[in-house]
Every structure is written in structure tokens, then in C-alpha cells.
Amino acid sequence: MGGGFGGMWTQQRSLRYLEDGQPDARRTLRRLRPVLRPHLRPIGIGVLLVCVGVVLGLVPPLLIRAAIDQAIPLHRLNELLWLAFGMLLFPAASAVVGVGQNYLSTVVAQRIIHDLRQSLYRHGQRLGLDFFTWTRPGEIHARFISDLGAVQQALAQSLIGTFVNVLTVLLTLGTMLILNWRLALIAAISLPAFAIPVLHFGKRRYEATQETQTALADLTSLLEETLSLSGVTVVKSYGREDAEAERFGKASERVRDTSIRQSLVGQWVMLVVQVLSAVGPAALYGYGGYLVVQGQVALGTIVAFATYLARLYGPASSLASVNTTVLGALALFDRVFHFLDVPVSVPDPRSPLPLPPRGSGLGVAFRGVHFTYPQGAEILHGITCEAPAGQLTALVGPSGAGKTTILSLASRFYDPEEGEVEISGVPLRRVANAELRQRSAVVTQEVFLFHATLRENIAYGQADAQTEAVERAARQAQLGDLLDSLPEGLETVVGERGYRLSGGEKQRVAIARAILHDPELLLLDEATSSLDSQAEALIQQALSELFSARTVIAIAHRLSTILQADQILVVDEGRIVASGTHQELVVQDGLYRKLYETQFAAAKAR
């Protein structure tokens, strides 16, 4: 879908999960505490270096004052040379301390980003399939790339920079008050006015930041959809290059416009701030000059105050917009926290119950199961059935009847709203996900292969498997001819989503992966791809090997599976309408007989 309706539909679904809230600085700062806590030691060292750097920066104006008021008028050449040396030494020392401070800031920021990235990924792995069904991949990836990248800048520039500016202003004002409290008050007369024009710009900065990051997420989604191998194939097949380029241009324009708005928020305010920053020096030189003429203050003090003012107004100007910059930074953290707050729809049980020991067999039972997909109508209506241990149970029925949903519940990709799914008498909700995955395997209708070697794809569920075991599983899955024909054998890279392999070969790779995993419970949605007779025969041989001595629940698309089944469950409109063997069902004048005559009889005749 290249047009607006598809994009709007997807975005509305996505917002259900990644809906951004309103700015709440206290809430976000509370969330930041546990993020910062593991890094308190380097943060403390960094704070100490900041203090040292600020103090070192206060010394040169005092040296200038001493040179003008004492060394030069009294012709003390040695003292003047030492003062000049100090004017060089202290800025150099401050610069060295600044390097250490920047290094620590970078290290801490990167560590925090690493921790957040890990938390995001682990949370993403725990989320249910419902989240990924309705959320665009680009929105998820934007949290990892653009949002976390912006968070890193916010840590260094907004939060740490705000602390440096506060310390600089306080210590500089304190030094000025010690030197001459009257001049300090005159010089700082415009400081309180800095904050007045910008107090209300914080929310605007927050909203502008949110808009920019959302636009970047949309652009990322579009890139992933249209420049992936699968996406670009569809684009080229239908000659939609120009339309997608126009769509990309509009998304890029939105990023451009929101970025411009974000950068321009508060610019007029900063203009007022710059005007106000000229008031202090004018007052200082006017009043200070008068005091010098009257002989009440030395000239060096006025020069020192002018130097302090130059050092003071930069941080003061930044602090004037601290409400704007900090809320902009907190908006970025909010986007990360919103992802972490997405509820886990299929949580791991806190006190899991063990499954029966290996070798005893695993049976599956549905007890009055009702299920509804998010924002949809009820799919399953009180399903009650059993798949006995060690037997093949086939699910048949028209498209949309609920077969895949039954398989998804048996694999605990979802939990039912009502009723219970049990495995060997243990409620599936009470089984640890790790144990369930170790004892079961799922072969889906759409085979996904990683852009990796054939060996890595087959051994994905058993990463420590020896090469001999991987090759044996591949040959059991009828991939022997493929292995022999490939120059690099198992080390052949299969390409994105296994693009270098045929449909039948990818199906057999998925079967080999399941054989190597050696599950006791196999959940199979047989592929519906049109295969030639040779590929069909190979798939049947591979499936026979896979079904051996296992509990199998399979959505049957092949006559061979129907005939092998110990039990057939006929599903229609979310209900089990019939059950039995093939011989028992085919003689009845019901849905199964109609399905058999229309879908499977033709296959039998081939």
C-alpha cells in the first residue's frame, strides 16, 4: 500500500502501543534515578572535575586585576611575569580538566545509552506478538537509533551542561560579590529578567521534539519497507518507483519542517536575552567608570568584573532557557520510557510449574477457550479439544476459521481471555517460557531465514550443535542434494530471508531446524506454496521424519497429513464443529466432506 489510507491505518494501530503522553518533568526525573544509579561513581568524579574546572576559570580575572592595579603601576617586573605565567597556566589547567570532564561525560553517556539499549531490546523480546502485529518496525527502530542518539546528546548538552552553567553562575557571582558587592549588583541587574520571556516555552520545545522524533520514525519505517529486498521487489514489480519517491519526499519534508520548528523554538526569546545581556556591561562601565574617576575603585577591579561578565552571560543565557532545553531532553527520555512501559501481554509466570520429565510425552488441551485479537471481534468461541501425547492432530477448515489462532495459543504466542490452554495438565500460563521453548518447536507457514549461513539457520535453536548433527538434520529434512550442490555446503550464506533458496528448500530448512531442536511438541502450519511433484515428495519425506514419535498439531494443507492424522479437528467460524479420523469424517455429510472433495480430492488424483 503506497497511499495514505494504509499509512493512516497502520499509524492508528501503532499509537495504541506507543502513544506519547504530556510532559511531566517530575515523573521523568523519577524514572531517571534508577538509570543513573549504577553510574554514580563516574558521575561523582565528573562533578568534581566540573567544580575544579569552574574554580580554575575564576583565577585569571584576579590575576589581571593584580597586574593592572599592582604589578604595572609599581613596575614589579618579576611579579608581572609570574602573573602572566599564571594567566597561561590556569587556562591550560582548566582545559586539561575539561578534557577529563568531557571524557567522563562521554563514557557515562555511552554507558547509560548502552543500558537503555539493552533494556529496550530485552523488553522488546518479551512483548507479545500483538505488539509487533500492529506496530511498524520503523517506530521500534527509531527508539533504538534516532531517539537514543538524541538522548546521548541531551545527556551531554542539556542535563550536564545545565549543571555546569548553574555552578559557573553561582561561583562567578559569589566571587564578584566578594570583590565589590555594589559592582556585582549593578553588573547582575539584568540576570533575573533573562528567565521571564522563556518560562512558557518548555511545553512548546517538548512538543516540537516529539513531532520531530515521530517524523523520523515515519521516515525510518518507509525506508525499511521500500528499500528492503522484499519491499523493493514489490515496488519494482508494479512500477511504483516514482510514487514511492514522492511518498519519501513528503516524509522527508515533514522531518525537515519539524526539525526547523524544533530548532527555532525560543529563538525570538534568545534575541531578547542577547539584548538584556548588553545591559550589564553598560551599567558596569558607566557606574564603574564613575567610581574609578572618583578614586573609589581601582581600574583593575573594573577590568576583572568585565572579564567575569563575559564568563557569566554565556551560562546565564543558557540557564534562561533551561526550562526549554531540559524539557526537550526529557521528551526524548519519555519516548524511550513509553516503549519500556508497553505492557507484556504474555508474561513469564513468577512461580512456574514444571512439565512432566522428558520422554513421558506432552499433550495439549483447550478448555472453553475464547480469544479476541486487539481491537477486533472474537475469533474463538469456547474451544474445547485435546491433542493427545504422541499423536498427530490435524486442523482443517476454511480460511479465517481460527486454525492459526489455535496454533498460536498452543505455542503461547497469545493468552486466551477466557478458558485455559493446558500442556500435560499444567496450565500453559504457569509454564516457564524457556522450558516451553526447549520442549516444543513451531514451524510457521511463512518461513523466515536469517541473512546468515545455512548452518547457522538450521542450528538457530541449538546454537552449540556440532556440524555433524546439523548436517544429519539437513539430510533428514531431504536437503542432501542441496548440500552437495553448494560449493560451500553448510557455510553458504542464504541471503536476506533465504532469498537464494527456493520455496521448497526454505521449507525444508525450517523442518531441519525443528529436527535438530528435537521437540516433544511440534506445532506446524504447513506451507501452502505451490510445489512441483518432486519438491512435494521431498517435503512429505521430511515431514514424516519430523512427525516421528512426537506430539504434533498441524494445520493441514496436504492430503498426506490428513491421511496420517490420528485425529482431525474441523474448525469453522471459531468453533470445533467435528472431530474424528479421516475415515470417520469423510462418510459424514458435513463440512469436512465438502473440504475434502474441493481441496484434497484433486491432490489425491495427481
Q: pLDDT at position 16, please? A: 45
Bridge partner residues of 288 (DSSP):
none
Lowest mean pLDDT: which of 24-28, 181-185, 377-381? 24-28
Tell me how far apart the alpha carbons of residues 47 and 34 are, in angstroms, rounded to a whole number: 19
φ/ψ of residue 416, rounded to 5: -75, 155
Average pLDDT over residues 60-86: 87
The larger pLDDT score, comparing residue 518 to residue 497, is at 518
Query: What does the block give as the cell for 22?
Result: 504530556
pLDDT higher than 80, residue 496: no
Beta strand residue intervals within 316-377, DSSP E: 364-372
Q: In order of start, what are the domains of the chain with their CATH numbers?
A: 4-340 (1.20.1560.10), 364-605 (3.40.50.300)
Cell digits of residue 483: 548440500
Of these ranges, 251-260, 410-419, 540-549, the one predicted with the greatest mean pLDDT is 410-419
pLDDT of residue 13: 40
Q: How far is CA 235 from the centre of its chain?
A: 27
Rounded CA-CA distance 253/251 in Å is: 5
381: cell is 468461541
φ, ψ (nearest 5 deg) of residue 477? -85, 15
CB 556 within 8 A of CB 526: yes
**DSSP classification of residue 353:** P
Cell of 264: 527555532
Alpha-carbon distance of 59 to 90, in angstroms, equals: 7
**Mean pLDDT, rounded, of the chain:** 80
- What lies within 8 Å, CB to CB, of 152 at 6+ separation is 109, 110, 113
Strand partners, 571: 576
How confident is the model over 288-329, as pLDDT tens digits? 888 888 888 888 888 888 888 777 777 776 666 566 666 667
Predicted confidence (pLDDT) per residue in 109-152, tens digit: 888 888 888 888 888 888 887 787 777 777 777 787 777 877 77
DSSP conformational letter for 359: T
What does residue 423 show for φ and ψ, rounded to 5 degrees?
-125, 110
Instruction: Lay out the sheet containing 575-580: strands in order across.
Output: 440-443, 521-525, 551-555, 392-396, 567-572, 575-580
What is the pTM (predicted TM-score) of this model?
A: 0.72
Closest C-alpha to 316, from 457, 157, 191, 479: 191
pLDDT band at 383 (very low <50, low <70, confident <90, very high): very high
Q: Per the structure block, which three cell numbers stand in for 44?
A: 561523582
Residue 8 pLDDT class (50, 70, 90 cuts): very low
Please, where are the H alpha helices in 227-298? 229-237, 241-264, 267-277, 279-293
Model confidence at 578, pLDDT cuts 50, 70, 90, reads very high
Which residues are CB-contacts of 137 (< 8 A; sequence separation ≥ 6)? 221, 224
**29 vs 569: which has the higher pLDDT:** 569
Residue 57: which H helix or E strand, with range? helix 40-66
